[in-house]
Each structure stands twice: as C-alpha cells, then as structure tokens.
Copies of this chain bind each other. A is one copy, B any other.
C-alpha cells in the first residue's frame, strides 16, 4: 500500500501557490523548476486538483494555476482525495459469503463484518487527522526563509 508521489508534489505546489498568490497565476513549468520535477508529469498530477476546484487554472499566455480557495479552507484530506481518489484503502470483497458462507441464514450478512468495520474505523481516524490540517497550518509550521527563498527563485527567473 503506497501513496502516489503526486500527493507530495501536489501539496508542495499548493504551498508555493499560497505563498506567491500575488504572482499568480503560475504556469506548471515554473512550479516544476522550483522542485526540479518533470514538467509534463507534474501537470498531469495537478490536473485532478484543478478538476476538484482546489486549483483554478487559466489558459493562454500569462496563464497558469492559482489557488482556488483560501489556505484556511483547503485541508490535506482534500488534496489526498483529489489525487488518490475517494476509494477506501481496504476493499471488502465479502469473501465471508463465498464457500462455506453459501449456507448462511438470510440476513446474517445484513451488517458489514467486524473486519470491515475495524478497518473503516481506522481509516476514519486517518481521514480525521488529514482533514484537521489545512494549508494554513502547514504554512505556519514552515520557516519563513523557505518562502523568501522560493519567492526570490520565481522572481529571478521571471
């Protein structure tokens, strides 16, 4: 079970866009330079963020991406869900109903099995933590020197 690296790229790019909102919109190529990433592939990873409304895209010359909402209104959960999809990590295929389960009384499988419930509970705790962290919180935990350095980097290659 491994999360796509696009999540890390997406969150970092969101932070940059939050820092440099006054310079928005920023094209993908510029963002790729900030982190030395393959531009085409980074674009593919940011597309679902735009489709989810987390990023706002502008076409044409001087176009690019800007943050779609305030940093306080975007949580880590939003970014993860947009890129990874909303499917649960644990997929219950109801194998309890197969084989020996064929002979079960009707209604015995009305409720989800204990394994599925336990997994859902754990995933819910995970989601709750992700939802409690906003981009603004992440910015507060990041040294201001990083923002200044990134701003200089972008303005230098303008």
A143 within 8 A of B: yes
A41 within 8 A of B: no
A7 within 8 A of B: yes
Please report A residues at the B interface, Cβ cutoff 8 Å: 1-5, 7-9, 11-12, 15, 33-37, 76, 84, 87, 89-93, 95-96, 98-101, 103-105, 108, 113-115, 117-119, 121-123, 125-130, 133, 137-138, 141-143, 145-146, 149-150, 153
Q: In the complex the two chains form, is A90's CB within 8 Å of B7's CB?
A: yes
- How many whole Å from A154's CB to the nearest CB in chain B? 8
Taken together, the copies of this chain in the complex come to 2
- How many whole Å from A80's CB to the nearest CB in chain B? 8
Q: In the complex the two chains form, is A122's CB within 8 Å of B117's CB?
A: no
| With known contacts A114-B142, A142-B113, A96–B12 Cβ distance under 8 A | yes
Complex contacts, A142 vs chain B, CB 8 Å:
113-114
Complex contacts, A90 vs chain B, CB 8 Å:
3, 7-8
Q: In the complex the two chains form, is B93's CB within 8 Å of A36's CB?
A: no
A130–B115 Cα distance when bound, in Å, is 10
A28–B84 Cα distance when bound, in Å, is 34
Query: Nearest residue in B to A84 (C-beta to C-beta)?
Result: B1
